[in-house]
Amino acid sequence: MGKSNTLKERYQAQFGGEPDLMAKSPGRINLIGEHTDYNEGFVLPTAIDKAIYVAVAARDDDKIVLYAEDFSEYFESTVDTVSPSDKGWPNYILGVVDQLRKLNLVVKGFNLYVDGDVPLGAGLSSSAAVECATGFALNELFHFGLSRQEIAKIGQMAEHTFAGVKCGIMDQFASVLSKEDFVIKLDCRSLEYEHVPLLLGDYELVLFNTNVKHSLASSAYNDRRNSCEQGVAWLQEVYPEVLSLRDATLEMLEAVVKPKDEEVFTKCKYVVEENMRVELACEALKSGDIEEMGRQMFVAHDAISKDYEVSCAELDFLVEYMRNQPEAVGARMMGGGFGGCTINIVQKGHAERIAKQVAPAYKEAFGLELEPIFVAASGGSTLLG
Ligand code: GAF
C-alpha cells in the first residue's frame, strides 16, 4: 500500500472500519551521554522528525490484532495471553500491553496498525518509538490517565521483558517528552529534565548511517551493563553511599575497582567521564560554543570506542574521516553501538558534499553504502487529527 494514502485509509484497508484514534511517537538522536542512562547519569537527546505512527480501535472481544506495514504482516493474540513472540516486531507492542496489565490497568481487545519512517536498525530508536506510540495511544484509547513519564517507563520495561535488552530510559523519554528545537538534558536518576535550546549557529546536525548492525549488539549491551553493576557492587563494599556509577569518582574507581579487575575498571571509568562530558557539552551548547561542544563529541567517541568498546570499524572509519574535515566540528557514534549512525556537527551547506566524498572510500572499505540523514529536533508523542 503506497504511502500516498493517509494513515486512516491505510488502517481501513487492513481492518475495515475507522480507527478510534491515531498517534505518533518519534525516533531520537543523542548529542552526547552514551551508556550513561542505565547508570543513573546524564544524557542530551531529542526526538527527530521521523516517527512511528499507529492507528488503533477498541474491539468488542478480547483479541489484539496487529498489522505492521513494514513487514506486511498481521499478528494476533488475546489480551490474557500476551507473551514474547519469535517474530520480533509484535514484542514492542505486546510488551507494552503486558506492562499495562502488570499495573492493573484494564486493557481490552484492540486493533493496531503500525507504520513509520524511522529507519530500522539505524540506531534511531525505532523500537522505543513503537513502544511509546503504543503506550501513548492505548493510554488515550482506554483513558488510563498515565503521565508521559509513566508511558516512557512502561516502554522501557517492555524492552527489558519482551525484547530482552536491559536498556536505560533515554530513548523512551526522548520519544515522549521532547520539544521542537530543543534537546533534553535528562537526569536519569530523578528524571528531572531541562529543555535546552538547540542553537547551532552556522552549524547543522547530520547523521551518517553505516547501514550495518552487528549481531552482538544486544548481548554486548547487557554485558556492559553487567560490568557497570559489578563495579558498583565492589564500590559499595567500601563506599555504601554509592548507589550507581553516577555517585562514583575516578579516585574511588582507582582505589577499589582497578585492583580487582582492569576491564571492569575501564568500563566504569568511561561512564564517570562521559557524565562529565555531558555537563561540559551542555554548558558549551548553552553558551553557543559549538566548537567546544563538538570537541567533547570527538573525545567521547575515542572513549566509547577504546574504553567502552561498543563501537565498530564502520563507525570508527566515519568519525576518523570527519576529524580531518575542517568544516566538521564534532562527530561520534550514537546509541547502543556496533552499527547504526554517527552524529556529526558540520558547518551549514557542507554535509552533503562530505557525505558524497566519503561514500566511495566507505564502500571500498566495507562494501556498504553510506547514507546521510538530516534530522530536525522535534516534539514528542502526539495525537494525530
Ligand atoms: C540504547 C538504549 F536503548 C539506551 O537506553 C541507551 O543506553 C543507549 O543505547 C546508549 O546510550 O539506545
Reduced to 3 states (helix: H, G, I; strand: E, B; else coil), residue 256 is helix
d(CA 199, CA 289): 10
For the CA of 30, the closest atom of ligand 1 is 11
Cα of 8 to ligand 1 centre, how many Å? 32
Positive/negative CA dihedral, 313, 318, 319, 323: positive
Q: What is the pLDDT of residue 219?
A: 85
Cα dihedral: 242, 336, 163, 65 (round 10): 130
Q: What percent of the chain has pLDDT over 90?
A: 95
C-alpha cell at 172: 523512551
> What cell was used for 178?
521532547
What's the pLDDT tens digit per position in 197-255? 999 999 999 999 999 987 777 789 999 999 999 999 999 999 999 999 999 999 999 99
Write the residue with the smallest CA distance to atom 7 of ligand 1: 35
Q: Is the pLDDT of residue 2 over 60?
A: no
User: Is the model's pLDDT at 1 over the cut of 70?
Assistant: no
pLDDT of residue 78: 98
Of 34, 36, 37, 310, the one to substitute when testing ligand 1's pocket (max ligand atoms within 8 A of C-beta) is 37
Residue 125, marked binder: yes
Which amino acid is residue 114, in one-letter code?
V
Cα separations in angstroms, 112 against 59, 109, 338: 10, 10, 32
Q: What is the largest CA-CA distance in the chain?
A: 65
DSSP 69: G
- Residue position matching grid coordinates 561540559: 280
Question: Quick check: 131 and 158 in contact, CB under 8 A?
Answer: yes
Residue 384 confidence class, pLDDT cut points 50, 70, 90? very high
Ligand 1 nearest atom to the CA of residue 336, by list position: 9
Predicted pLDDT at 213: 86
Looking at residue 3, its pLDDT comes to 67
* Cα 78 to ligand 1 centroid, rounded to whole Å: 31
Residue 376: closest CA among 39, 25, 28, 43: 28
Q: In whole angstroms, what is the distance from residue 252 CA to residue 235 CA? A: 7
What pLDDT is attached to residue 234?
A: 98
Compute, in angstroms, the gap from residue 12 CA to the centroid of ligand 1: 35
Q: Which candidate, 194, 305, 298, places its Cα nearest to that of 290?
A: 298
Ligand 1 atom nearest residue 34's Cα: 11
Which residues line the pocket of ligand 1, CB cutoff 6 A? 34-35, 37-38, 125, 167-168, 170-171, 335-336
What is the 336 CA–ligand 1 centroid distance (Å)?
A: 5
Q: Helix (H, G, I), strand (E, B), or coil: what is residue 183?
A: strand
Residue 47: closest CA among 67, 32, 27: 27
101 has pLDDT over 80 = yes
Are 343 and 294 in contact by the 8 Å Cβ rule? The answer is no
CB 383 within 8 A of CB 140: yes
